[in-house]
Amino acid sequence: MDWKAVYGDFSDLPKSEQHSLFQAIKDTLFPEPKEDIANMVGEIREVRFSSGLACVHCGSVNIKRNGKYRSRQRYICKDCGKSFNDMTASPISGTHHPHKWLKYFQMMVDGVTLPKIAEKLEIHVSTAFYWRHKILIALRSIGFSTLKGIIESDETYFLESNKGKKSVTHRKPRKRCGKAKKRGISKEQISVVVAHDRNGNVLSKVAGRGRITAD
Ligand SMILES: [Zn+2]
């Protein structure tokens, strides 16, 4: 079989299939440069360990290099005996497709929908969903939700919802929204504080049940 025979069949494919085939051939002929990954790992190392390398499990600085695995430097902690690499405990640790993360970030920032992202990156929708949560958790953990300068805040109340729970044990279940038993604000409500600063950073947090106290 020569290329002309293959190309002859090519035009019989629907347009979307043609695109997929083209992408597959392109990926085979010009494998994605791994440079961006190497750079990314370098940057991660710089940021994470800017104040010196430390064990991600126990915080000890008594560590040494312990070989490489899949081109990632590994370290071992002399105190707790556990090992880690530059990406351990970061959102992209354990991922099989580090190079897809860069594109994922970009698309997430651009507001592309999860099914679209999954299709483009050829990952499962549940993987896309899982990644998004990893990213959001990571953003929250590095304190993107701190406010500066002049802050305005207000609170709002929602009836407690146990939607999705198999059984509600601490009170009688309500049917479709329903109403609170007591009038006004009571322990049946969940209070949420919303605050924003003059830079447009918004923070919202569950404050607890019932009327909000100064704390
Ligand atoms: Zn340790």
| Poorest-pLDDT segment among 26-35, 72-81, 167-176 | 26-35
pLDDT > 60? residue 100: yes
Task: Specify whether the CB–CB gap between 159 and 180 falls below 8 A.
Answer: yes
Same domain, 100 and 120: yes
Structural domain contains residue 138: yes
CA distance 90 to 99: 15
Give the neighbor-by-neighbor strand order of the sheet with 189-197. Answer: 151-159, 189-197, 202-209
Same domain, 102 and 140: yes
Structural domain contains residue 25: no
Structural domain contains residue 105: yes
Same domain, 139 and 185: no
Task: Specify whether the CB–CB gap between 82 and 66 falls below 8 A.
Answer: no
Same domain, 137 and 158: no
pLDDT > 90? residue 186: no
Strands 83-85 and 151-159 turn out to be unpaired
Rounded distance from Cα 50 to ligand 1 centre (Å): 18
pLDDT of res. 80 = 92
Same domain, 168 and 132: no
Structure confidence at residue 196 as a pLDDT band (50, 70, 90): confident
Q: How many domains does the chain have?
A: 2
Structural domain contains residue 36: no
Structural domain contains residue 165: yes
pLDDT of res. 33 = 55
DSSP string computed for 98-152: HHHHHHHHHHHHTT--HHHHHHHHT--HHHHHHHHHHHHHHHHHTTTT---SSEE
| Chosen domain end from 127, 144, 161 | 144
| Chosen domain end from 144, 160, 179 | 144
Rounded distance from Cα 57 to ligand 1 centre (Å): 5
Same domain, 158 and 140: no
Q: How confident is the model over 114-171, as pLDDT tens digits?
A: 899 999 988 888 888 888 888 877 777 665 556 667 777 777 777 777 777 777 777 7
| Chosen domain end from 144, 168, 184 | 144
Same domain, 132 and 180: no
Residues less than 5 Å from ion ligand 1, measured at CB:
55, 57-58, 60, 77, 79-80
Q: What is the residue range of 172's domain?
A: 151-209
Rounded distance from Cα 59 to ligand 1 centre (Å): 6
